[in-house]
Amino acid sequence: MTELPKAYDPAAVEPDLYEDWLAAGLFSADPDDEGEPFAIVIPPPNVTGALHIGHALTNAIEDAMVRRARMQGKNAVWIPGMDHAGIATQNVVEKQLAAEGTDRHELGREAFVERVWEWKEESGGRILDQLRKLGSSLDWDREAFTFDEPRSRAVREVFVSLHEQGLIYRGNRLINWCPRCHTALSDIEVDHSDDVGELARFRYPFADDPDGGIEVATTRAETMLGDTAIAVHPDDERYADVVGREVRHPFQDRTFRVIADDYVDPEFGSGAVKITPAHDPNDHAIALRHDLEVIDILAEDATLTDVVGERFAGLDRFEARRQVKEELDALGLLLGVDSHEHSVGHCSRCDTVVEPRLSDQWFVEVRPLADKAAQAVRDGRTRLVPDRFTKSFLDWLDGLHDWTISRQIWWGHRIPAWYCPDGHITVTREDAPTACTECGQGGLVQDEDVLDTWFSSQLWPFTVFGWEKPGDTTPELETWYPTAVLETGYDINTFWVSRMLMIGLWFLDEVPFRVIYNHGMVRDQYGKKMSKSFGNVIDPLEFIDEFGADALRFALFQHSSPGTDVPLAPEWVEGAKRFTNKLWNIVGFGLRVLDDARPGALPPREQLALEDRWILSTLERTRAQAEDAYATWDYARISGALYHLAWDELADWYLEAVKPRVYGDDPDTKATAQAVLARVLDDLLRLLHPMIPFVTEQLWRALTGAAGGPESLMVAPYPTGRPDDLDEDAEAGFAAIRDLVTEVRRFRSQNGVAPSARFELTVTSSARGVLEGHRTLVTSLAGLSDVTFVDALEDRPGTSTIVLDGGQAQVELAGLIDVDAELARIDKELARAEGDLRGVEGKLGNANFVDKAPAEVVQQQRDRQVELTRTIEELTAQRGALADLTS
RNA sequence: GGGCGCGUAGCUCAGUGGUACGAGCGCCGCCUUCACACGGCGGAAGUCGCUGGUUCGAUCCCAGCCGCGCCCACCA
How much of chain A is in helix, strand and coil states, percent to nearest 5?
50, 20, 35
**Span A146-198, pLDDT tens digits:** 999 999 999 999 999 999 999 999 998 889 999 988 899 988 888 888 777 88
List all nucleotides in chain B with at least one atom under 7 A from a protein Cβ: 2-5, 11-15, 23-26, 29-31, 33-43, 70-76
| A746 contacts A812 by C-beta, under 8 angstroms | no
Tell me how far CA of residue A227 lies from CA of A244, A410, A528, A771, in angstroms. Answer: 16, 34, 44, 92
Phi, psi of A131 (to 5 degrees): -60, -40
Å separating the CA of residue A387 from the C1' of nucleotide B5: 13
- ∠ CA A264-A269-A272, rounded to 5°: 45
The confidence score (pLDDT) of residue A750 equals 80
Å separating the CA of residue A699 from the C1' of nucleotide B62: 52
The nucleotide minimizing the C1' distance to residue A387's CA is: B4
Q: Which residue is nearest to nucleotide B29 (CA to C1')?
A: A749
Å separating the CA of residue A343 from the C1' of nucleotide B74: 11
The confidence score (pLDDT) of residue A857 equals 62
Q: How far apart are CA A690 and CA A65, in angstroms?
A: 7
Q: Which residues pair with A299 in a beta bridge?
A: none
The nucleotide minimizing the C1' distance to residue A582's CA is: B36
Å separating the CA of residue A856 from the C1' of nucleotide B30: 32
Task: Tell me A512's DSSP state.
Answer: S
Q: How far apart are CA A267 and CA A236, in angstroms?
A: 10
Length reported for chain A: 887
End-to-end CA distance of chain A: 58
Q: How far apart are CA A78 and CA A38, in angstroms?
A: 9
Å separating the CA of residue A677 from the C1' of nucleotide B35: 13
Low-confidence ranges of chain A (pLDDT < 50): none
A587 contact partners, CB below 8 Å, separation of at least 6: A4, A681, A685, A699, A702, A703
Phi, psi of A591 (to 5 degrees): -60, -35
The nucleotide minimizing the C1' distance to residue A267's CA is: B75
Round the average pLDDT of chain A to a whole number and report it.
89
Å separating the CA of residue A68 from the C1' of nucleotide B26: 35
Identify the three-state secondary structure at position A430. coil
The confidence score (pLDDT) of residue A766 equals 87
The confidence score (pLDDT) of residue A52 equals 87
Tell me how far CA of residue A93 lies from CA of A47, A48, A102, A107, A448, in angstroms. Answer: 11, 9, 11, 12, 19
Q: Predicted ipTM?
A: 0.93
**Span A728-770, pLDDT tens digits:** 899 989 999 999 999 899 888 888 888 888 888 899 888 899 8
The confidence score (pLDDT) of residue A874 equals 63
The confidence score (pLDDT) of residue A860 equals 60
Q: Which residue is nearest to nucleotide B31 (CA to C1')?
A: A755
Å separating the CA of residue A388 from the C1' of nucleotide B6: 14
| A317 contacts A381 by C-beta, under 8 angstroms | no
The nucleotide minimizing the C1' distance to residue A272's CA is: B76
| A461 contacts A77 by C-beta, under 8 angstroms | no
- ∠ CA A848-A853-A855, rounded to 5°: 125
Phi, psi of A339 (to 5 degrees): -70, 140
Q: Which residues pair with A787 in a beta bridge?
A: A761
Question: What is the pTM (predicted TM-score) of this model?
Answer: 0.89
Q: How far apart are CA A813 and CA A439, in angstroms?
A: 110
Buried b (16+ CB within 10 A) or exposed e, A798-813: ebbebebeebebbbeb
The confidence score (pLDDT) of residue A864 equals 64
